[in-house]
Amino acid sequence: MSISSVARDVRSGFITMLPIALAVVPFGLLLGSEAVRKGLTPAEIGLMSMIVFAGSAQFLTVSIWTHPAPWAAFALAAFLINLRHVLMSASLSPKLKAFRSSQKALVAFLLADEIWALSERRAAHHPLTPGFYFGTAVGFYLIWLAATVAGTFLGEALPAPETIGFDFVFAALFISLVTGFAKSWRAIPIILASLFASLLFKTLYGGTGFILAGGLAGIGAAALLPPEKKKTP
Amino acid sequence: MTIDPATFLAILAMAIATYATRISGFIIGPYLPEEGRLRQALDAVPAAVLTAVVAPTIVSGPAELIASVATIIAARRLPALGAIAVGVGTVLVGRHFFGGW
């Protein structure tokens, strides 16, 4: 692969990511300001964004942070919230043919929801390349890190994301991606099973297990469908 | 700009737990079948997981429900960014008129 085609993929990944990362900024700012209220320093929340890099796990643990921090409880919470990443990485795994093992280790480190979703969409139309993936992921990572640290200095001078509709950006992104993945009738039972199982679990148990419950119901429905006649692209 | 030892340990433990979930699919990936029902199930992961993530948001209020339908319609005609703009615009207008359930 030539240098110019790598540069083109990096650029394409970066441009694809940028509007989504900008929508993440208000949430990063909020997380930073919440971290300060819970007695975390800018260095600590910065370190968390740097090595954990998982928005939902960070929001949950910061919202219940105590001193001294109960490391085992927080690790378990992060593990449970992030269990969906087992499914996500298993799904992405066969699409990483162009990646070396060392690159895959870094792919896993950067595999936040938004990056995974954008990579799956890319892989549905083009072979996924390291240039595209890291163009997407590294830019998103740096913007998230900068936003969370900046939030520690801005404090409570922030508008809530709901007031400007920013909270719906992720819902709209994920809905449009699902619409793109749904190319035949076969998607309908998968989506309905996931939708109902997710809502049922959320209503009954609350918490964040609904993602895994819905995901497993949807892929269970897919396994029960009659075998496909021809392979979809 | 200090880092408390207990906080450092907790953040490190969270990082390891998160990384474990993200690398596990790559470790088991090569052992997963190329076809058959398990493959059908794995191919459905993106649609199933993303649907599960957004389901509570879709039904969180009338504005969100209407905006979700608008996003689906827009996504069939527009690129993702256009569909997002339609969704966010609809939710802002909807919240102004409807409030919550």
A131 near B CB under 8 A? no
In Å, how far is B32's CA from the nearest CA of chain A? 9
Tell me the CA end-to-end span of chain A in Å, nearest whole number.
23
Contacts of B60 in chain A (CB under 8 A): none
CA angle A185, A191, A194 (to 5 degrees): 150
State which H helix or E strand residue A35 sits in: helix A3-37
Q: What average pLDDT is seen over chain A?
A: 90
C-beta atoms of B3 and A44 within 8 A: yes
A109 in reach of chain B (CB within 8 A): yes
Cβ proximity of A65 and A34 under 8 Å:
no
Better-predicted residue by pLDDT, A130 or A34: A130
Quote the pLDDT of residue B34: 82
Task: Give Cα A29 distance to the centre of its chain.
Answer: 17
Taking the alpha carbons at both ends of chain B, their separation in whole angstroms is: 45
Provide the residue range defining the domain that includes B70: 5-98
pLDDT at residue B46, as a whole number: 87
Q: Indicate the number of domains in chain B.
A: 1
**Complex ipTM value:** 0.89
pLDDT at B67: 97
Residues 8-47 of chain B with CB under 8 A from chain A are 8-26, 28-30, 32, 36-38, 40-47
